[in-house]
Amino acid sequence: MKRDIVDYMKGETKKIAFVFSCPGQEEQKSKKLVNGKTGENLDLLIEKNEDKVLSKIFDKEEINNWKKYKHKNPKGLRYFFRITNASNFVHYKIWNGRTEAKTSEIKNVDNIDRLIGELYDIEDAIICFGKKAKEALNHIQKFKSDKLNHNVRIVYLRHLGLQSLNQIKEVSTTEERLKVVADDFIRQMEN
């Protein structure tokens, strides 16, 4: 099987981390995580819902840092935050016949240790987008929960790819669907 990896993005804050499933073709080309349409959707989710979402986590200083970053980087808002994947191995159909990592790859000890090393210092929220990200964090919580900050909230949301978002039938546009995802995040943070 062909192997290529794209490593995590440290970001500017330790308050929030985003965990997706694995890098794909766009990430392989750019060597940046959450590129392509999923990245655009993450930026749109952040931009359109920042007041509701970020106010749940950021203090005044972090809001000011966010505003400075946003002013300098209007495209690529997502890179203010820590971003990683449940697996850092690239997967897409014409590369290796898969679009997702196998469970055995995600639960591999070296992979779990890598993921813990990228998330151990996150202070407030680890946001898992999709089933594979959830699977990885569930595994960490079950067997190595002491390796993460004991105050961190782990939130599970649907993946931000169009295949997943388009399953939200009660609204019709991507922006409206992302608002549904943001509302789910707020509900989980308030519980």
* Cα–Cα dist 11/131, whole Å: 23
Query: What was the pLDDT predicted at 3?
Result: 59
4: pLDDT confidence band, cut at 50, 70 and 90? low
| pLDDT tens by residue, 103-116 | 999 999 999 999 99
Question: Can you tell me the mean pLDDT for 159-174?
Answer: 95
Q: Counting beta carbons within 10 angstroms of the beta carbon of residue 32, is it exposed (0 to 12), middle (13 to 18) or buried (19 or more)?
A: middle
Residue 153 reports pLDDT greater than 90: yes
Domain 16-190 bears CATH identifier 1.20.120: no
- From CA 78, how far away is CA 56, in angstroms rounded? 17
Average pLDDT, the chain: 91
Residue 50 binned pLDDT confidence (cut-offs 50, 70, 90) = confident
Q: Indicate if the pLDDT at residue 2 is higher than 80.
A: no
Residue 109 and residue 141 in contact, taking contact as beta carbons nearer than 8 Å = no
* Mean pLDDT across 52-70: 87
Report the pLDDT averaged over residues 45-65: 86
pLDDT for res 60 = 87
Query: In this model, does residue 137 exceed pLDDT 60?
Result: yes
Residue 174 reports pLDDT greater than 90: yes
141 has a pLDDT exceeding 70: yes
